[in-house]
Chain A
Amino acid sequence: MRKFKSKILAGFMVIMMTFPVFTGKCQTRYRIYFTDKKGVNFDPYAYFDAKAIERRNSLGISLYDESDYPVSSEYIRTISEIVDSTGFASRWLNFISVYISTGQQLEKLKNLAFIREIEKVPEVIIVLTSTESVDDSFDNDLVKLMNRQLTRMGGDLFVKNNINGKGVRIAVFDGGFPWVNTHPAFEHIRKDSRIVATYDFVKKRENVYYGNKHGAMTLACIGGKYEGKKIGHATGAEFMLAKTEVNTEPYSEEENWLAAAEWADKNGASIISSSLGYTYHRYFNYQMDGKTSLVVKAANMAARKGILVVNAAGNEGDNEWKYLNTPADGDSVLAIGGVDPETDYHMGYSSYGPTVDRRLKPNVSAYSHVVTVSKQGVNPADGTSFATPLVAGFAACVIQYNKNLKGMNLFHEIEKSGHLYPYFDYAHGYGIPQASYFIKNDSATVKKTFEFIETESRMKVVVDFGILNNTEWFGDANLLYFHIEDKDGMIKDLYVVKVEQKEVLNLDKLRFEKGDRIMVHFRGYTASVTF
């Protein structure tokens, strides 16, 4: 028995040695939300950049919105006397981050009347998923793809009209921007000093030219230019670079994103381009409701300030998670899906919508197999991370063309410019935005390309076969999109069909329930039938 007892003791010692976490002092991070901003002074003309004031004025947003006021310094002083240390204080959400190591500190905080909520902050993983091949040669295929990633959106129209995002300020949030200070693809931006601000929200300093190359790759897809050829639409835009993440899959904080958004707002950004997203590491997919995560609250608040927030839908389409990430779930966040340039329809990995509350996502799409910068030159790369900056650059060009379009107006107009609009589905959103919608206003010239023919038992869709000979159509001319919605508007099935003959669809009506709707899109024309 003595031998047995000594063995139990030894076993217990092993357990204790294995888990020093039980014995050590451990700091925990909390967010302290305040009830108000009483007694706080705020001078918008001292705080905001001139472009931020201009944006607010043009959208009729008050310069004295309380959410822009700083967090009460009195509250911060009181808090800092209790906690171990303080961190980022958010004006928009009126909180401060603190580190606490004892229960007594927490109890003291709970007794303060000006505290509305105390939230424990988890560590979280940011996903910057993308892949890149390693061949740096700039061959003809790369030139073609690089050209196509822009012309598919009507980039040639922007060029013809001398539109390149000039004067528009774009904030790019990512994991680092190495090469941006040296790579020839950014030479035109450096030469004109159009990187107007940089900040590393991880290390709290200005240098962002290190870390994850993902940021340089996304920036190139907004405004890069290589050997005289455009990689992104907005080669004339101004840029703000925010390093908000640590590495490709680092532990990080959603707070960095929020801090960067406040910084972008203060410094006059009109667009935030973010190829970041949070998924299963922290959330369940039924939490993609546009209001749960801190980062989606931050993104929606940025949109309230008149900033167009463009975020990647995510690359989870062909894995278990499947659905979009947050902050792409935000109702004011333009979520970007991926389209395969080879097929012109959904790229397998691109995350699907809708949100949990059944809002349409992604909002629009762009090519997600693109050419972007590599260490030595340019390379193909994959991911909705790269579709996103293509749309951000597109949006900058639209703002330059029509200065009245900003914020949510711009958001909705970009949706309407989608090549499938008014058709939509949970893989493509409204399709790929088209410059022609803004410049030629060609939405009014929609021609009927098919018709529904209903018999007693069948529902047929018959196309005007002659139209297939019309070669003006860009992209894959023979794709017909259709989906079936239930009576509540939730899409049950969505399809892309290759049109090879006149009678494209011949569906048994028994498969439809009462109230179901079939919506079909072919070559710019959309029509639907409700059962």
Chain B
Amino acid sequence: MTANQEEHVTSSSTRWPALFQGQEPSPLLQRALWHVAYSLTAMTGQEIQVASHRVATLPLDRLAPAFSDPEAPTIGVYLLLGDDLPGQAVLMLALADALALVDHMLEVPPGSTAQFGDLERSILSELGNVCVSALLNAVAQPEWGPLLPSPPAVMVDMLGTILDAVATSIATNQDALTLVETIFKVTMLPHMLRLWVIPDPPRGEYELAQEQQGAHQ
């Protein structure tokens, strides 16, 4: 990570710096990611482990080409993070894996779920909710305000389209996206779960000056 990129992460909020250490998630954030895996395991009844994690900065106009198959049918569960840790999170999994997971959680034979109705979507919503809430629970500090995620939104589309939706939600004055990417291995699934946690882009100098002025009043 360059000094510029590190500044991008650390200046986006007074809360985020505690969660980064150079090019790596801080020990606190790493523990939080393990807590996410534990919570997802408890929810799904399937062993889920952290396979890898990294801090990455990706050009906004090249999110989809960064993946080998941007046309892969994918589920994205999208949540906004709370005011004290402003940002977004999206949990992505292959459509076939999502169907298999839904079958497992509904305790129906494999292959039973063919499409996503309200019930099936609610399982995926809850997966995103538990995932992001577990992360926020683990990083929350007593002196911080509550870290509440938004209700989840489930997207069913090509991976590239989901990534475009994420890119569109980023402030337009940014040309790159800094994020924490965590890959989870699920025992029963052939592919990986991918979690992106995206701090809000840094505020401009004017906003930061206003914020500091407010803090001194």
Judge: A and B partners, yes or no. no
